[in-house]
Structure 1
Amino acid sequence: MIVVTGGAGFIGSNLVHGLNARGRDDIVVVDDLTDGRKFLNIRDAGIADYLDQDEFLDWLAESGDHRVDAVFHLGACSDTTEWDGRYMMENNFEYSKQALNLCLLYNVPFIYASSAAVYGGDTDFTEQIGRERPLNVYGYSKALFDQYVAKLMPEAESQIAGLRYFNVYGPREQHKGGMASVAYHHRQQLRDTGRVKLFEGCDGYGDGEQRRDFVHVDDAVAVNLWLLDNPSVSGVFNCGTGRSEPFNHVAQGVTEYFGEGEVEYIPFPAHLEGRYQSYTQADISKLREAGYRGEFRDVRAGVKDYMAWLDDG
């Protein structure tokens, strides 16, 4: 069977549905449903079992040697505004180490979620382990685990692959509240006020011209499934489109889809000063060199696909 930790979350639930589309329902979803709203992401998914995250490590210790084909480790605290470092390190670093070491013990492929947050304010978005410059403790927890993985990888007999996700958006993110994508919030803002909101200029960028690498969640899932199909591929890889696009393009995707709406530029929040990535662009050459040939849609097209999915839902 296949394990997906964080399987009721955003990327995890889309991965579960992606596996279902391949005819696989022998999936163990691991998550923390303290926020019960996340069940909506998997209520129509085919799974074999559900485990609370507190039960998973013991279960894996008992089951990993003969029942598990692969572990997708997507469970984490992903709130970039969370400053409880002890909580973050327990959830994102220590828990991940234990899961990885059990997978190595049983030769179970381990495909996990890292983050572009490891790069912080740097403009070199290549996967140079040890050169990370995170701006928050979330990014630090991910960078430290990447470094831990890099030390173990040369001796590993099974696959270890990490994906540094850039700005992922798309279906099944509604439970994330304030951490949901700009596209999701723009839809809500347009419905409520007829306007969408973006930050005024900062860091030398004009109004709404701060740039990110926006990747549709279906394209991110495709990379995960490719890694499952290619267990000989190990490493830490960027997961983005390789394009940097302004937030204005997100707004345009939403307003063009609905055929209405204006952009309102709001003051840049003081609490984000010095902690905000105004520019990201994944260097995906390492992923391409590893053999991945899938395409990544641009953000305006991807946002329109997302709006259509929300309408159908």
Structure 2
Amino acid sequence: MIIVTGGAGFIGSNLIRTLNGRGEKNILLVDHLANGRKMHNIADLDIADYMDKAHFLEKTASPNFLNGIQAVFHQGACSATTEWDGQYVMMNNYDYSKRLLQCCAEKNIPFIYASSASVYGTGEHGFRVDRSCEHPINMYAYSKFQFDQYVRQVLPEIKSTIVGLRYFNVYGPNEQHKGSMSSTAFHFNRQIIEHKKAKLFAGCDGYADGEQKRDFVYVDDVVDVNLWFMDNPGQRGIYNVGTGKAETFNTMAQAVIAWHQEGSIEYIPFPEHLQGAYQSYTQADISGLRQAGYSKDFLNVKQGIPKYLDHLNSKK
């Protein structure tokens, strides 16, 4: 059996869908469906069982609970970068992850978990997997950073596969439940449909209007990296998952407009509440991923957006 936590979420549901495509149905989906709309992400998936995350965490205390598990993909977390209840975030993103890692290590189960590029903060020191580059600027980022630090601490003592994947700006199907945390691609698509205008932030941090840059990575590529580490056991460490090439928000908006064959860009004032807590530039250093042996190319925005919008707008 394979366990996917956060299995009803954005990346988790896409991961299960791809596993189903491989013929794998013996999957335990762990999630917390307080937001019942997430069921739309999993209604067409085949799984062996579902378990609420609280019940799952209780069950990990049972000596035989994880017997026979092939791998654990730990995708579940509070992913809101605007959440400032530190106790809540650390309990969900740090304590929970520590407990699950310890259980997997005891039974030699591969543990592949979601970290985040948010650990790099403003990115002024670069985007290498290196302590000198890491300076989280919100509570979510800190929780991810601190768990990475814990992994680094225990890694020498653990012989099983432990892989942390620092996702950059992921976009693609099944993110609609995330609301304001959904990708710019999702929001631009909705804005073009409703108002014929994609709204981008005006210039900030020395960037011209809409010229802030992010490393936008398509969810299928993220899933492929996860499964590659399952298929290539013995890997241990933390890796960036992005295309390795930053692209502007203007490029993203123009790709959405090109798909719709209509629309324009409107620049809006940069939000006051995001000042000092916003990444105006991200670009993954994926040298570690390449050195580990992952060699596939990543889709760029012009390749990924048509694929995404074909799917997204076919459901309307």
TM-score (norm 1): 0.98
Partner of 1:86: 87
- Mapped contact 2:6–2:29 kept (Cα < 8 A): yes
Corresponding residue number in structure 1 for 2:173: 171
SS at match of 1:121: coil
Distance of 2:313 and 2:272 partners within structure 1: 35
C-alpha separation between the residues in 1 aligned to 2:254 and 2:123? 27
Residue identity matched to 2:70:
D
- What's 1:231 paired with? 233
What is the TM-score when the length of structure 2 is the normalising length?
0.97
> Per the alignment, in what secondary structure is the counterpart of residue 223 of structure 1?
helix
The question of whether the paired residues in 2 share the 8 Å contact of 1:129 and 1:150 is answered with no
Identity %: 57
State the partner residue of 2:68. Answer: 67
Shift in Å at residue 122 of structure 1? Answer: 2.2
Q: Aligned partners of 1:225 and 1:171: how far apart in 2?
A: 18
Contact (CA 8 Å) 1:212, 1:281: kept in 2 or not?
yes
Question: Does the CA-based 8 Å contact 2:244-2:284 persist in structure 1?
Answer: yes
Task: Read off the aligned partner of 1:287 and give its amino acid letter.
Answer: L
Q: Which residue of 1 aligns with 2:27?
A: 27
Aligned to 2:101: 100
SS at match of 1:114: strand
Q: Does 2:150 match 1:153?
A: no
Question: Number of matched residues?
Answer: 313
Residue type of the alignment partner of 1:279: Y
**Corresponding position of 1:120:** 121
CA distance in 2, matches of 1:229, 1:312: 33
Which amino acid in structure 2 is aligned with residue 11 of structure 1? I
Q: Deviations over 1:199-235 (max 9, x none)?
A: 0000000000000000000000000000010111111
Partner of 2:184: 182
Q: Distance in 1 between matches of 2:66 and 2:142?
A: 32
Whole-angstrom CA distance in 1 between matches of 2:199 and 2:57: 42
SS at match of 1:118: helix
Classify 1:95/1:259 alpha carbon distance in 2 versus 1 (closer, same or farther; 3 Å). same
CA contact (8 A) 1:64 1:106 kept: no
Q: Distance in 2 between matches of 1:65 and 1:79?
A: 29
Alpha carbons 2:172, 2:219 under 8 Å: kept: yes
Of 55-64 and 263-272, more deviation after overlay is shown by 55-64
How far apart are residue 56 of structure 1 and its match?
Answer: 1.0
Superposed displacement of residue 65, structure 1: 4.7
Q: How far off its partner does 1:57 sit? A: 2.1
1:112–1:33 CA distance, 2 compared to 1 (3 A): same
Give the ranges of 4+ consecutive aligned residues of structure 1 lying more than 4 Å apart after TM superposition. Answer: none
Counterpart-to-counterpart distance in 2, 1:103 and 1:89: 20
Distance 1:219 1:163 in 2: 12
Distance 1:65 1:196 in 2: 47
Q: Which amino acid aligns with 2:7?
A: G
> Secondary structure of the equivalent of 1:301?
helix
CA distance in 1, matches of 2:122, 2:192: 31
Alpha carbon RMSD of aligned pairs, Å?
1.0
Distance apart, 1:130 and its partner CA: 6.3
The CA deviation at 1:311 is 2.6
Q: Describe the superposition over 1:24-75 as per-residue Cα deviations: whole angstroms up to 9, x where unpaired.
A: 0111000000000001101100100000000112323434552211110010
Partner of 1:273: 275
Kindly indicate whether the alpha-carbon contact (under 8 Å) linking 2:199 and 2:268 is maintained by their aligned counterparts in 1: yes
Return the offset for 1:301.
1.6
Check conservation: 1:4, 1:74, Cα contact below 8 A: yes
The alignment partner of 1:187 has SS state of helix
Cα 1:196/1:65, change in 2 over 3 Å = closer
Aligned to 1:298: 300
Q: Which residue matches 2:198? A: 196
Give 5+ residue unaligned stretches, structure 2: none
1:14 corresponds in structure 2 to 14
